Amino acid sequence: MGGLRLLAVAFTCCWWPPGSQGKTLRGSFSSAAARDAQGQSIGHFEFHGDHALLCVRINDIAVAIGKEAKLYLFQAQEWLKLQESGHGYSCSEKLSKAQLTIAMNQTEHNLTVSQIPYPQMWHVFYADKYTCKEDNENSQVEDIPFEMMLLNPDAEGNPFDHFSAGESGLHEFFFLLVLVYFVIACIYAQSLWQAIKKGGPMHVVLKVLTTALLLQAGSAFANYIHFSSYSKDGIGVPFMGSLAEFFDIASQIQMLYLLLSLCMGWTIVRMKKSQSRPLQWDSTPASTGIAVFIVITQSILLLWEQFEDTSPHSHHSHHNLAGILLIVLRICLALSLGCGLYQIITVERSTLKREFYITFAKGCILWFLCHPGLACISIIFNDYQRDKVNYSIISKWSSARSPLQAMQCAVEHTNVS
């Protein structure tokens, strides 16, 4: 396990996941940034319902009026068409095609986005009279600090919901997930503790599986804290969101290393092992090397995917090249480990060991194929529904069920032996 600890430390040092972006935005409207990009991008939000609201507050009215400051709202599809259009629209022509416009001439502006037949992503841009000028006139003009809230209607139709359409329901989901982990802990805690104290050939496996489940439970609890705060202020606790993501990835890496070490070790030393020898973690240089190589490969792909995907709360949505490579890697691992375990099961004489191998093989295949399967299924859904599919209770429960199932078998094996 020393290699796993070293890998975890290196992973922690190399990357700390970025916090989720809140829907209460604070910053400054910048003329220079707007001129450089032909419109300063402020944020995006998936509005739904008939009474969605954009509320923006500024303090320096005189500067805003002097610069003729405005906010421009584009529907995502229309903005994409403008970006991909070959007509070569000028700066002013692009801005004129905005679906909604707000003139910044008051301290507070409330814009109701209504009559939305289905959830749509909207992009918010800032521009002023200097944005489309080619010269650098008044390039040092003063920026305008702002606070913006993007709100959807709640169950009663009032615009108090900070969650976008793609994020709605996450708060309640993580509450239920934490409750499920609590019930699991109440059921298995005593027997698990007794099995760990007893020791035996499955002692290390039990400790690793317990750690993986604790990491997953910690991830769910950190996400619940983050979304509880997010539901009130639209910002949440970004540190807790980052911590939840780190716990989840650390759990994935630990489970992957465990599965590979167990399966590769069993496969490599199967012909040399006595049939009467008790089941245990057989570690060889070859199995350890293969496990470490594949774990490092998945870690690199996870890092690549996270750095390319900057949208908030898009948990392993597998929409880029790194995500596709992760899917291919998981499918290949599921097939190879499934074949290896099948060969072991066919020659195993012990009924107890054979039952353990069968249960463990089901858990392995479920663990490896759950996320790729959901990522493929999510393609048929709309954009705002895809993250919900990847965040679904099926995904989280499958991720927890595999180590839980293997841990239950290990406890039974320890008690019998």
Residues of the chain with pLDDT > 90, as a percent, come to 7
pTM of the predicted protein model: 0.74
Please state the length of the chain. 417
Q: How far apart are CA 228 and CA 236, in angstroms?
A: 7
Q: Is 26 helix (H, G, I), strand (E, B) or coil?
A: strand
**Residue 16 clears pLDDT 50, i.e. is over it:** no
Among 1.20.1260, 3.40.50, 1.20.1070, 2.60.98, name the CATH number for the domain at 169-416. Answer: 1.20.1070
Residues 6+ apart with CB under 8 A from 273: 282
Q: How far apart are CA 145 and CA 57, in angstroms?
A: 9
**Residue 325 clears pLDDT 90, i.e. is over it:** no
Q: Is 146 helix (H, G, I), strand (E, B) or coil?
A: strand
Residues 6+ apart with CB under 8 A from 269: 282, 284
Query: For tokens 């010269």, what's the residue?
Result: 135
Residue 12 has φ and ψ, to the nearest 5°, of: -65, -40
Looking at this protein, which amino acid is placed at residue 358? I
Confidence at residue 234, expressed as pLDDT on a 0 to 100 scale = 80
**In the chain, where the domains are located:** 25-151, 169-416
Q: What's the pLDDT tens digit per position in 214-241?
A: 888 898 899 899 988 888 888 888 888 8
Instruction: Check: CB of residue 278 under 8 Å from CB of residue 417.
Output: yes
Nearest one of 103, 98, 160 to 123, comparing CA atoms: 98
pLDDT band at residue 399, thresholds of 50, 70 and 90? low
Looking at this protein, which amino acid is placed at residue 408? Q
The string of DSSP codes covering 173-215 is: HHHHHHHHHHHHHHHHHHHHHHHHHH--TTHHHHHHHHHHHHH
Nearest one of 59, 62, 48 to 26, comparing CA atoms: 59
Q: What is the dotted CATH code of the domain comprising 25-151?
A: 2.60.120
